[in-house]
Amino acid sequence: MPNILVVEDSPTMRQLISFAMKRIANSRVIEATDGVDALKKLSSEKIDLILCDINMPVMDGLKLVSLVRGNTIFKDIPIIMVTTEGAEEDRKRAIAIGANAYLPKPIQTQELIRLVNTFLGGSGT
Amino acid sequence: MEKESSYLNKAEEFIQMFKKGEEFTKDILRENEKLRFRVAQLEETIERSGDEARTKLYDERIRLLELELNSLKDKFIKVEEENKDFALKYLDVEEENNNLANLYVASYQLHSTLDFSEVLRIVVEIVINLIGAEKFAVMLIDDKTNDLIAVAAEGIQSSDLLRIKIGEGIIGRVTKEGESYFAEDLSVMHEFKAFEPIVCIPLKIKEHVIGVISIYKLLTQKSGFNNVDYELFNLLAGHAATAIFSSRLYTQSERKLTTIQGFLDLLKDKPKR
């Protein structure tokens, strides 16, 4: 059962992404409202994939990605950025820091499911 | 001498007879050869006629198999077309499903609270995350002045947002007529003008307009609107209006309740003479 950590300050987006993730067989969604909350969830749960926003209070998504990549235990967890920042330089910056994929909002649910399945090694629903 | 002549005659007769016998034997042999040849010919004919019958049979079988193959090819083409049709329908259903999920989430979130500022925050979230707007404002009709004033905005300085009179410009007209406005040319969004949004949605409770959502610019990655955006605009027009209206009433009544409660507490505490 893959555990997917959704790091997003917007309750609307958290609910929407959780809805989409329910369509990935046996997946379980764990929600975090910012980077600090995400680090807490990472230390208490076994996470298989992170879906992360960039603009968040307390700790933003880019900081979270760099911390995760710098940690020996979490460094291999795939991270997909889901953000309103759609410029090419934002994408390049996130990938350079360590994000595996970059999905600008508003998200296409099929595209999100396809990406998640790619990193979880599944075939989709 | 006579005896000798008789022997010679007999020898001659014998030789003649022998020759006749030889001739006869040769004739039989020739006849035999002819008959052998004839038999061989007949055997070949019989064999050939057998091959022809078999060939005819095989031809017939090939013809039937070809018919069957063609029929299977036709069926395969039909099944493939049906398959393509199903795949397209599946994609449509999938898209519809995703759109419904978006609408459900938006609607659920809008009605999840009775706190006015929280409702406004949710409206802003929906417009940013689900529609993909970068610059927009939520404007409500001020009960006292009957003008539109901004109560929430994103990507715009509050000083840029002016009071707008009902009926004035695009926003005022949308408020007055209650009909959504969509600019034909989205290139105008690159220059911010407070009176010229690219989209203006009236917030309506039945036919009563309480305000508008004016969008001035979309996110870089968003080039235009699709079906679900129009559905979301419709949803916002109705549900956001109801949520904003209810939460505002609730907040006002809460405030009144607190004031009345304060008075009651004051009366209770008033020393008796």
B89 located within any domain: yes
Residues B77 and B212 in one domain: no
Range of the domain at B35: 1-110
Q: With 60 as the cut, is the pLDDT of residue A123 above it?
A: no
Residue B226, CA atoms < 13 Å, CB-side half-sphere? 12
Written as one string, the DSSP assignment of B171-210 is HHHHHHH---EE-S-GGGGGS--TT--SEEEEEEETTEEE
ipTM: 0.83
The pTM (predicted TM-score) of the whole model is: 0.74
Residues B35 and B86 in one domain: yes
Residues B131 and B247 in one domain: yes
Q: With 90 as the cut, is the pLDDT of residue A96 above it?
A: yes
The torsion angles phi and psi of A23, rounded to 5 degrees, stand at -85, 0
Domains identified in chain A and CATH numbers: 3-120 (3.40.50.2300)
Residues B135 and B45 in one domain: no
Residues B120 and B182 in one domain: yes
Are the C-beta atoms of residues A83 and B67 closer than 8 Å to each other? Answer: no
B198 located within any domain: yes
Size of interface A-B (CB pairs under 8 A): 58
Domain boundary among B62, B86, B110: B110
B11 located within any domain: yes
Eight-state DSSP code of residue B5: H
What is the number of structural domains in chain B?
2
From chain B, pick out residues whose CB is under 8 angstroms from the CB of A84.
Answer: 128-129, 132, 134, 219
User: Which tens digits make up the pLDDT trace of A54-94?
Assistant: 989 989 999 999 999 999 999 999 999 999 988 888 899 99
From residue B52, alpha-carbon distances to B42, B48, B65, B202 in Å are 15, 6, 19, 87
- Domain harbouring B153, CATH code: 3.30.450.40
Helices B116-125, B2-110: crossing angle, 10 deg rounding: 150
Does any CB of chain B come closer than 8 Å to the CB of residue A81?
no
Residues B24 and B132 in one domain: no
B window 195-224, beta carbon within 8 A of A: 219-222
| Cross-chain residue pair B105–A16, CB shorter than 8 Å | yes
- Strands B133-141 and B208-218: what pairing? antiparallel
Q: What does the pLDDT profile of chain B (273 residues) look like in tens digits?
A: 677 777 778 888 888 888 888 888 899 999 999 999 988 988 888 887 777 888 888 888 899 999 999 999 999 999 999 999 999 999 888 888 888 888 888 889 988 999 999 999 999 999 998 889 999 999 999 888 888 888 888 888 767 777 888 888 889 999 999 999 988 877 766 677 777 888 999 999 988 999 999 999 899 888 888 888 888 888 888 889 999 999 989 988 888 888 998 888 888 876 655
Residues B6 and B126 in one domain: no
Domain boundary among B110, B134, B157: B110
Return d(Cα B215, Cα B181) in angstroms, integer: 10
For residue A120, give the amino acid letter.
L
- The dihedral of CA B60, B62, B67, B71: what is its sign? positive
Are the C-beta atoms of residues B247 and B115 closer than 8 Å to each other? Answer: yes
Position A124 scores a pLDDT of: 43
B125 located within any domain: yes
Position B1 scores a pLDDT of: 64
Domain boundary among B77, B95, B110: B110
For residue B269, give the amino acid letter.
D
**Nearest C-alpha neighbor of A74 from the set A48, A94, A102:** A48
Position B269 scores a pLDDT of: 75
